[in-house]
């Protein structure tokens, strides 16, 4: 800043805001301003501005606990008491009393630095890479990748197939590059990704958008029973893979299975159908599977067969 009074403050480290004022160090000495008026903090009954020749390296800081503004000042070579090793003098402005505190000088324990003993990076040396999905089941899959740093842990994240939200699933021990994910919903497109972490530092992802994992289609449920003394058969089907087709196959007298009926895009839940084509005295078998032509593995396993249902139309006691 530069004011009409000729006060110039060009060092950004020597400028701080506290209690409604900007405080700074200029060539004319310490000052404060509310944005309209500039007040030099030197003069009668105030600290004299002498022996300071390096305002470019001065600094200001607000100490809220002590209710003070600290001015770090660099005396000239000729200043009395100047330390060659620790040349800084800290002046303290008391915000509560609005006066200077007695002069404070700090030495070796304050402005001291030493070189690090090591240059080894604290975080992982490289991110994981690649990614394959294998061993898909109706309730899970196995994820594999290549570790970038075998000494770092790996965070395994998964995207919710319904909401698209990513969440951390688990943290995997160092030197491990596979994870068996369980407890998933069948017939869903899951996505996963991994990154390393070490000492609180994380890497980039092996894949920003994620690696695809598509769980298999679950088999439907099936039960069949003859309706009284007629040859009609009631078949109860349970859809366990929402939105897929259910294909029911039928076998008569051991002659081999063929498609009896297909129910398309059935939602989850149970429904009943009827077979009115069987003959009295025949032996009927049923089985069913769910099907999605767009899925990598299009067919589910078969439901447990309804085996050897003999169509008895005699009406007598069993």
In a domain, 54, yes or no: yes
Task: List residues bridging with 290 in a β-sheet.
Answer: 246
In a domain, 254, yes or no: yes
| Mean pLDDT score, 95-119 | 56
CB 194 within 8 A of CB 177: no
Q: Domain boundary residue among 57, 84, 100? A: 100
In a domain, 4, yes or no: no
Of 9-13, 14-18, 29-33, 227-231, the one with minimum mean pLDDT is: 9-13
Rounded distance between C-alpha atoms, residue 266 and residue 217, angstroms: 13
What is the total count of domains within the chain?
3
The structure's pTM equals: 0.61
Residue 12 main-chain phi, psi, to 5 deg: -65, -25
For the chain, helix, strand, coil in percent to 5 are 0, 45, 55
Are 208 and 235 within one domain? no
Kindly calculate the radius of gyration of the chain based on its CA atoms and give it in whole angstroms: 40
| Mean pLDDT score, 250-263 | 96
Give CA angle at 128 (122, 134), nearest 5°: 150
Residue 13 main-chain phi, psi, to 5 deg: -75, -15
In a domain, 114, yes or no: no
Are 232 and 184 within one domain? no
Are 294 and 232 within one domain? yes
In a domain, 115, yes or no: no
Of residues 265 and 4, which shows the higher confidence score? 265
Average pLDDT, the chain: 84
Are 82 and 148 within one domain? no
DSSP conformational letter for 75: B
In a domain, 178, yes or no: yes
pLDDT at residue 191 tops 90: yes
Are 176 and 226 within one domain? no
Q: Domain boundary residue among 83, 100, 117? A: 100
For position 1, what pLDDT does the model report? Answer: 43
Of residues 96 and 153, which shows the higher confidence score? 153
Q: Give the structural domain span for 277.
A: 221-310
DSSP-assigned letters across all residues of 141-168 = EEEEEE-S-TTSEEEEEEE-TTT--EEE
pLDDT at residue 264 tops 90: yes
In a domain, 272, yes or no: yes
For position 317, what pLDDT does the model report? Answer: 46
In a domain, 316, yes or no: no
Q: Kindly report the CATH number assigned to the domain that includes residue 292.
A: 2.60.40.10
């Amino acid at each position: 800043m530069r004011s009409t009074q000729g006060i110039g403050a060009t060092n950004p480290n020597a400028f701080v805001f506290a209690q409604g004022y900007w405080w700074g160090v200029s060539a004319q000495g310490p000052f404060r301003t509310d944005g309209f008026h500039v007040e030099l903090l030197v003069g009668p009954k105030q600290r004299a501005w002498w022996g300071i020749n390096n305002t470019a390296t001065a600094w200001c800081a607000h100490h809220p606990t002590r209710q003070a503004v600290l001015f770090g000042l660099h005396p000239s070579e000729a200043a009395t008491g100047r330390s060659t090793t620790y040349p800084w003098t800290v002046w303290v402005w008391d915000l509560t009393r609005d006066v200077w505190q007695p002069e404070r000088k700090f030495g070796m324990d304050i402005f001291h630095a030493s070189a690090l003993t090591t240059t080894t990076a604290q975080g992982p040396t490289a991110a994981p890479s690649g990614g394959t999905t294998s061993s898909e089941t109706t309730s899970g899959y196995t994820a594999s990748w290549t570790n970038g740093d075998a000494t770092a842990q790996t965070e395994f994240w998964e995207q919710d197939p319904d909401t698209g939200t990513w969440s951390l699933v688990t943290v995997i021990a160092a030197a491990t590059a596979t994870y068996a994910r369980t407890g998933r919903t069948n017939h869903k497109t899951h996505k996963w990704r991994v990154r390393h972490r070490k000492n609180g530092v994380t890497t980039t992802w092996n894949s920003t958008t994620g690696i695809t994992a598509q769980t298999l289609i679950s088999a439907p449920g099936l039960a069949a029973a003859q309706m009284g003394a007629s040859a009609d058969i009631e078949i109860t089907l349970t859809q366990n893979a929402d939105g897929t087709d259910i294909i029911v196959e039928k076998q008569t007298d051991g002659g081999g299975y063929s498609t009896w009926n297909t129910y398309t895009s059935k939602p989850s839940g149970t429904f009943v159908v009827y077979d009115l084509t069987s003959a009295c005295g025949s032996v009927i078998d049923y089985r069913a599977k769910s099907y999605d032509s767009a899925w990598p593995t299009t067919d589910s396993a078969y439901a447990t067969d309804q085996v050897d249902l003999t169509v008895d139309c005699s009406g007598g006691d069993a």
